[in-house]
């Protein structure tokens, strides 16, 4: 299919996901919305939702230069700043696509976009297409830290053991995720799909194991080898094990593993609004600092 100036094609599976990840990696900075690991996590953490997600890729000179992913009236996008017309093409496509993805209960038609304050190249197209900044509701912080010799050594509470997970650990790893993020749609099936996705690495998927052998806390880190950048997504602690320093310990263990694997920086994007402050406190206590935040845009139509 051809749009105004660029070829475009609908998402057709794993190779296209890899092309979307390659673009996100090529344009990545610590304040970017998308790290290669986010795409793997977001695409696979739930099973059977692909049909709810119209996704389009734009090709410029044989390489993917923009993509848009619509979900429930919301758009995720990456567009090469070197080709300013592309962001507008993604928004045109979204305007035509969004109504079909809006939740039945939503005001009609809903069109929202979330970008990072660091992605200034997207602002002009959003303005031109009639989107307005909204300061309502949750937002995320984009936080970064150097992984240098100053990274604290993890010290789990007595009786807990820090270790990377293997195939046999999937049931307890998923149980911990579901408890920490209750209610959650992550299942053993979806988690196995996450583990098959590039660039998942089992040596960067850590748990704090409780004395009874269950997973009490977890931290999954994704490594972007081209940018030497690790991303925490997600981390959590089972409610009955909270406030014992376990999230701190398991995140540090996973970050040390990422450093051994070559990462020089780490990023994470917790909520930044006052309604959900604890994760940002955790990451600040580890040494992360804010470098950007998410900005919500809404189409007034």
Ligand X SMILES: CC(C)(COP(=O)(O)OP(=O)(O)OC[C@H]1O[C@@H](n2cnc3c(N)ncnc32)[C@H](O)[C@@H]1OP(=O)(O)O)[C@@H](O)C(=O)NCCC(=O)NCCS
- Quick note: the x/- pattern for ligand X over 41-70, rule CB under 6 A, is ------------------------------
221 contacts ligand X (rule: CB under 6 A): no
Choices 27-35, 61-69, 96-104, 245-253; region in contact with ligand X by CB under 6 A: 245-253
154 contacts ligand X (rule: CB under 6 A): no
Helix, strand, or coil (residue 237):
strand
Distance CA 259, CA 228 (A): 9
243 contacts ligand X (rule: CB under 6 A): yes
Helix, strand, or coil (residue 13):
coil
Helices (H), 56-122: 85-101
Q: How many residues bind ligand X (CB under 6 A)?
A: 20
Length of the chain: 301
* Among residues 234, 261, 273, 298, the one that binds ligand X under rule CB under 6 A: 234
For ligand X, the closer CB: 130 or 234: 234
Window 249 to 288, contacts with ligand X (CB under 6 A) = 270, 278-279, 281-282, 285
Distance CA 208, CA 191 (A): 18
In the complex, least distance from residue 34 CB atom to ligand X, rounded to whole angstroms = 16
For ligand X, the closer CB: 10 or 138: 138
Helix, strand, or coil (residue 80):
coil
Name 209's bridge partners: 161, 215
Nearest 5°: the CA angle 271, 81, 89 is 90
* The two structure tokens encoding residue 64: 């993917």
157 contacts ligand X (rule: CB under 6 A): no
155 contacts ligand X (rule: CB under 6 A): no
What radius of gyration, in Å, describes the C-alpha atoms of the chain? 19
180 contacts ligand X (rule: CB under 6 A): yes
181 contacts ligand X (rule: CB under 6 A): yes
Cβ(64)–Cβ(40) under 8 Å? no
245 contacts ligand X (rule: CB under 6 A): yes
26 contacts ligand X (rule: CB under 6 A): no
246 contacts ligand X (rule: CB under 6 A): yes
* The two structure tokens encoding residue 203: 């040596």
Label each residue of 105-147 as H, E or C. CCCCCCCEEEEECCCHHHHHHHHHCCCEEECCCCCEEEEEEEC
Interface positions with ligand X (CB under 6 A): 180-181, 217, 234-237, 242-248, 270, 278-279, 281-282, 285
């Amino acid at each position: 299919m051809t749009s105004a100036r660029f070829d475009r094609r609908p998402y057709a599976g794993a190779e296209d996901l890899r092309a979307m990840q390659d673009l996100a990696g090529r344009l990545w900075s610590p304040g970017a919305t998308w790290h290669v690991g986010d795409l793997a996590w977001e695409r696979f953490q739930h099973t059977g939702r692909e049909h709810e997600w119209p996704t389009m890729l734009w090709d410029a000179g044989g390489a993917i230069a923009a993509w848009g992913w619509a979900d429930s009236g919301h758009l995720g996008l990456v567009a090469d700043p070197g080709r300013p017309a592309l962001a507008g093409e993604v928004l045109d496509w979204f305007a035509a696509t969004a109504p079909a993805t809006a939740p039945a209960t939503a005001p009609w038609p809903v069109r929202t976009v979330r970008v990072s304050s660091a992605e200034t190249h997207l602002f002009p197209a959003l303005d031109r297409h009639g989107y307005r900044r909204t300061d309502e509701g949750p937002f995320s912080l984009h936080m970064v830290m150097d992984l240098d010799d100053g990274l604290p050594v993890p010290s789990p509470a007595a009786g807990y053991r820090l270790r990377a997970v293997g195939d046999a650990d999937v049931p307890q790893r998923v149980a911990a995720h579901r408890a920490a993020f209750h209610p959650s749609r992550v299942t053993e099936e979806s988690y196995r799909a996450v583990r098959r996705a590039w660039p998942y690495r089992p040596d960067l998927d850590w748990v704090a194991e409780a004395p009874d052998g269950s997973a009490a806390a977890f931290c999954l880190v994704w490594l972007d080898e081209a940018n030497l950048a690790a991303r925490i997504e997600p981390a959590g602690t089972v409610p009955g094990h909270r406030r014992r320093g376990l999230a701190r310990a398991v995140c540090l263990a996973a970050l040390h593993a990422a450093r051994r694997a070559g990462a020089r920086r780490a990023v994470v994007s917790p909520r930044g609004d006052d309604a959900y402050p604890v994760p940002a406190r955790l990451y600040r206590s580890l040494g992360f600092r804010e470098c950007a935040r998410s900005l919500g845009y809404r189409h007034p139509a």
